[in-house]
Amino acid sequence: MAKPLPVEINHIKEKGAVRVTWDDDHVGDYPREYLRGYCPCALCQGHGGEVKFIDVVDAKLGGISAVGNYAIQFQWEDGHNTGIYTFDYLRSLCPCPECKDSQDR
């Protein structure tokens, strides 16, 4: 089967979360701190090793943009914007209970 692609990215300000709807009808709500924490850029993650969680208190999301055909970029209000979240990575982060169970993180 083809890899799932996102069809809608909705920044729900009231909830402090980003809702990603996928074309296989999967929906996940990503809290802002969680998204910021798993930023994939080299500044946050270094070069190699396990994926780290970076605790940023009160992460505010300024904007979201698409990168080419394959990824999403978040602009945080503290100026951080180097994280390019590929669709695959974004899906692997999905925090919904169903995905969490199978990820065993």
Partner 1 sequence: METVTQDIVLEALKKVQDPEIHRDIVSLGMVKNLEVAAGKVKFTVELTTPACPLRDRIHEDCKKALAGVNGVTDLEISFGAQVRGSKSGAGQTDLLPTVKNVVLVAAGKGGVGKSTVAANLAVALKMHGAVTGLLDADIYGPSIPIIMGVKEEPKKIAVNGGFKLGPPMAHGLPVMSIGFFLEPDQAVIWRGPMLGKALHQMMADVHWGDLDYLVVDMPPGTGDVQITFSQQLKVSGALLVATPQEVALADVVRAKSMFDKVMVPIVGIVENMSYFICDGCGKKHEIFSRGGAARAAERFKIPFLGEIPITSSLREWSDKGVPILVREPKSEISKIFLEIASKLAGQLSVVSETARRAQSLKIVSS
> From CA 97, how far away is CA 36, in angstroms rounded?
19
27 binding partner 1? (CB under 8 A): no
Question: In this structure, are residues 52 and 68 in contact, taking their beta carbons and an 8 Å threshold?
Answer: no
> From CA 17, how far away is CA 58, in angstroms rounded?
12
Dihedral angle, C-alpha 13, 26, 30, 36, nearest 10 °:
-120
Q: Which of 27, 42, 67, 96 binds partner 1 (CB under 8 A)?
A: 67
77 binding partner 1? (CB under 8 A): no
Total chain residues near partner 1 (CB under 8 A): 22
> From CA 14, how far away is CA 29, in angstroms rounded?
12
CB of 7 to partner 1, least distance (A): 6
60 binding partner 1? (CB under 8 A): no
CB of 37 to partner 1, least distance (A): 20
CB of 75 to partner 1, least distance (A): 12
> From CA 52, how far away is CA 7, in angstroms rounded?
28
Residue ranges in contact with partner 1 by CB under 8 A? 5-14, 23, 64-71, 84, 86-87
